[in-house]
A and B are shown apart, each in its own frame.
Chain A
Amino acid sequence: MILRVFNWAMAALMLAPLVLIVWMSFTPAAFFRLPLTEFSLRWYREAFNYPGFFNSFLLSLRLAGVSATIATILAFLAAYGLVRFRFPGKGALEGFFMSPLLVPGVVYGIAMLQFVNSLGLYNTFWALVMAHIAIVVPYALRTIHAQLRAVPEDLEWAARTLGATRTRTLLKVTLPLCARGVLSGFLLAFLISFAEVTVVIFMTGPAYQTLPIRIYNYLTDQIDPTVAAISAMLIGLSLVLILILDRIGGLRPTAK
């Protein structure tokens, strides 16, 4: 009984800041005030009228889309190689592919800041893409790898005995069979990239402020519910992606 109430309280606490943001975004007042009765879309108008936010949103969308796509392709190929072949050094290679998970964002951000500058790529889109591919690839790989292992190899051999080449088999049999895993991997990669803050904040220049960075800078400056409107939309977007991911099984807690 105590545990049940405690669990409710904790679950409520988990959601409280998010619920509050959404609530605030629909009030006309600039500060939290009780009671919250009035309804207004004022801050949504302001958010859309502030060009910085919209440009940053487009940039984040583009960055997440490009990085997640490239990462998913790389991860699918790598997963296929890891699942379908045996070769020396495979374990080490897997470790290498997952290693970005072990490196804290701050550490990687500092390294990228200095690296990107020394290459003359500072303040470019592709520098961000590079970083985000490395960050999201382990998530995509883990998801796709798990799905690929569940596809019976016999099905591929069946296609091969029926005259399909390896490439055709890969595209016509293997890929459709683990489409769910590939899609989960892509969405997860997209979600992570879209929300990523730490690395980008270290390495990016003023011309490429992703949406989270724009919000971060705005927050260190001032606090008004314009951010609430933006944040509410971001929460909505995350929620949609999470629900899709959950539906297709991409968030099942797995034993690593």
Chain B
Amino acid sequence: MSGADAAPAGSVPVGRGTARWLPSIFVLPLCIALALAFLWPLIDGTINSFHPFTRAGIDRESWTLANYAKLWDSFYAGILMRTIRVSLIVTLLTAALAYPVALYIVRLSPRVQAIYLLIYMTPWLVNVVVKAFGWTLLLGNRGVINNVLQGLGITDSPLRLMLNETGIVIGLTHGHFIFVLLPLWAALGGLDPNLRWAAANLGARAWDIFRRVTLPLTLPALVAGLIINFTMNMTAFATPALLGGARARVVSFLAYETNLVDLNWPLGSAMAVAMLAISLLLVWLSQRAAASGSRRVMFEGAAR
């Protein structure tokens, strides 16, 4: 809703004619609700992360940074590295798969485009757990793929396609595809087709047009989408839990165990705070990337 700060021309400036308190009637209920149900829990959790964890529970009397220090232990760091690796693979894979799709659908009629977008949006709109179950049917030891492979005599024993990193990669690529496709589709659709013709007219072949015109002009949108995609991969829970399992633990799964099995809330909170900090940083980066894109779009507009 970034465009909303530019108030519509006719909106009433508060202070003359209207009572000063009038807007608060409308915005205050949501303010209070979010302060109670959202802000307070987050602050509360952050505070917990600075208390030590003892046998008796959280020691609210003393303060410590030990929980954060513990995140650097090799066990935790190892799981963090796996999470980053898996997330990055998913993001790069998504980029490679989404770009051709976006290039293709942007040339279709608006009606067909809408249908395809809806299809690509379905994984996001369908319950994560249901999706994971669907993949289990495909990827499991007795799933469709292994069934077919063994039936055709290509493999003797089932390929291990899930309950490892492969399963996570497949599940997340599927689930978060739209977050790269959508901004890319919008950027490609907004591109002046004459730019491509101008390049061709100046002697550029298809590959040169893509490399020197289309790609650079859609890069900001692509990067913004990829960062969002990466952030979501990093913090995904149900998909890696069901398709990766305990053998391919990721950070969110670890945080689950820490909070609900070990009941070590201070450490769990420290994990949460770290994850929040990282994802906020990434979102900020993505918005910067997108903003550099809108500047480009402005350039284009001015050139018309």
Chain A in direct contact with chain B (Cβ < 8 angstroms): yes
Chain A residues close to B by CB (< 8 Å)? 3-4, 6-7, 10-11, 13-18, 20-21, 24, 31-34, 70, 74-75, 77-78, 80-87, 90-91, 93-94, 96-100, 102-116, 118, 130-131, 133-134, 137, 141-142, 145, 149, 153-154, 191, 194-195, 197-198, 201-202, 212, 215-216, 219-220, 223, 227-228, 231, 234-235, 238, 242, 246, 251, 253, 255-256
- Residues of A within 8 Å of B29, CB to CB, are 74, 77-78
Give the contacting residue for B25; candidates A81, A109, A223, A246; CB below 8 A: A81
Q: Is A114 in contact with B45, judged by CB distance below 8 angstroms? A: yes
Known interface pairs A107-B276, A137-B34; A242-B186 also in contact (CB < 8 Å): no
Q: Is B8 in contact with A83, judged by CB distance below 8 angstroms? A: yes
Give the contacting residue for B11; candidates A10, A83, A137; CB below 8 A: A83
- Residues of A within 8 Å of B272, CB to CB, are 106-107, 110-111
Q: Is A197 in contact with B128, judged by CB distance below 8 angstroms? A: yes
Known interface pairs A17-B137, A77-B27, A195-B126; A107-B41 also in contact (CB < 8 Å): no
In the bound assembly, the distance between CA atoms of A98 and B287 in angstroms comes to: 14
- Residues of B within 8 Å of A90, CB to CB, are 5, 7
Task: Show 27 A/B contacts (Cβ-Cβ < 8 Å), sorted by A.
Answer: A6-B104, A11-B119, A18-B122, A20-B137, A32-B137, A32-B142, A78-B27, A81-B24, A81-B25, A85-B14, A85-B22, A87-B14, A104-B275, A145-B4, A149-B4, A154-B10, A197-B127, A197-B237, A212-B129, A215-B127, A216-B129, A216-B241, A219-B129, A219-B132, A219-B242, A220-B242, A231-B133
Q: Is B242 in contact with A216, judged by CB distance below 8 angstroms? A: yes
In the bound assembly, the distance between CA atoms of A24 and B285 in angstroms comes to: 43
Q: Is A111 in contact with B44, judged by CB distance below 8 angstroms? A: yes
- Residues of A within 8 Å of B127, CB to CB, are 194-195, 197, 212, 215, 231, 234, 238
| Least distance between B76 CB and chain A CB atoms (Å) | 15
Chain B residues close to A by CB (< 8 Å)? 1-5, 7-8, 10-14, 18, 22-27, 29-31, 33-34, 36-38, 40-42, 44-45, 48, 97, 100-101, 103-105, 114, 116-123, 125-138, 140, 142-144, 147-148, 151, 174, 177, 182, 185-186, 231-232, 234-235, 237-238, 241-242, 252, 255-256, 259-260, 265, 268-269, 271-273, 275-276, 279-280, 283
Q: Is B45 in contact with A111, judged by CB distance below 8 angstroms? A: yes
Which secondary structure dominates chain A's binding surface?
Answer: helix
Which secondary structure dominates chain B's binding surface?
Answer: helix
- Residues of B within 8 Å of A201, CB to CB, are 237-238, 256
Give the contacting residue for A234; candidates B37, B130, B255, B256; CB below 8 A: B130
Q: Is B42 in contact with A137, judged by CB distance below 8 angstroms? A: no
Q: Is B122 in contact with A14, judged by CB distance below 8 angstroms? A: yes
In the bound assembly, the distance between CA atoms of A108 and B31 in angstroms comes to: 18
Most buried by A among B26, B40, B122, B128: B26
Q: Is A195 in contact with B128, judged by CB distance below 8 angstroms? A: yes
Q: Is A102 in contact with B1, judged by CB distance below 8 angstroms? A: no
Give the contacting residue for A106; candidates B12, B44, B104, B275; CB below 8 A: B275
In the bound assembly, the distance between CA atoms of A35 and B177 in angstroms comes to: 31
Q: Is B135 in contact with A251, judged by CB distance below 8 angstroms? A: no
Q: Is B125 in contact with A33, judged by CB distance below 8 angstroms? A: no
- Residues of A within 8 Å of B104, CB to CB, are 3-4, 6-7
- Residues of B within 8 Å of A114, CB to CB, are 41, 44-45, 48, 259, 265, 268-269
| Least distance between A63 CB and chain B CB atoms (Å) | 14
Q: In this complex, what residue of A is CB-closest to B189?
A: A253
Q: Is A21 in contact with B142, judged by CB distance below 8 angstroms? A: no
- Residues of A within 8 Å of B38, CB to CB, are 99-100, 103, 108, 134
Known interface pairs A11-B116, A31-B142, A94-B4; A130-B147 also in contact (CB < 8 Å): no
Known interface pairs A13-B174, A108-B41, A110-B259; A91-B147 also in contact (CB < 8 Å): no
Q: Is A94 in contact with B235, judged by CB distance below 8 angstroms? A: no
In the bound assembly, the distance between CA atoms of A81 and B14 in angstroms comes to: 11
Known interface pairs A32-B142, A78-B26, A202-B256; A110-B117 also in contact (CB < 8 Å): no
Q: Is A20 in contact with B125, judged by CB distance below 8 angstroms? A: no
Most buried by A among B34, B127, B275: B127
Known interface pairs A106-B237, A195-B127, A242-B125; A85-B186 also in contact (CB < 8 Å): no
In the bound assembly, the distance between CA atoms of A60 and B48 in angstroms comes to: 30
- Residues of B within 8 Å of A194, CB to CB, are 127
Known interface pairs A10-B97, A130-B37, A153-B11; A20-B144 also in contact (CB < 8 Å): yes
Q: Is A21 in contact with B137, judged by CB distance below 8 angstroms? A: yes
Q: Is B235 in contact with A14, judged by CB distance below 8 angstroms? A: no
| Least distance between B43 CB and chain A CB atoms (Å) | 8
Give the contacting residue for A14; candidates B136, B177, B276; CB below 8 A: B177
Q: Is B268 in contact with A110, judged by CB distance below 8 angstroms? A: yes
Q: In this complex, what residue of A is CB-closest to B265?
A: A114
| Least distance between B297 CB and chain A CB atoms (Å) | 10
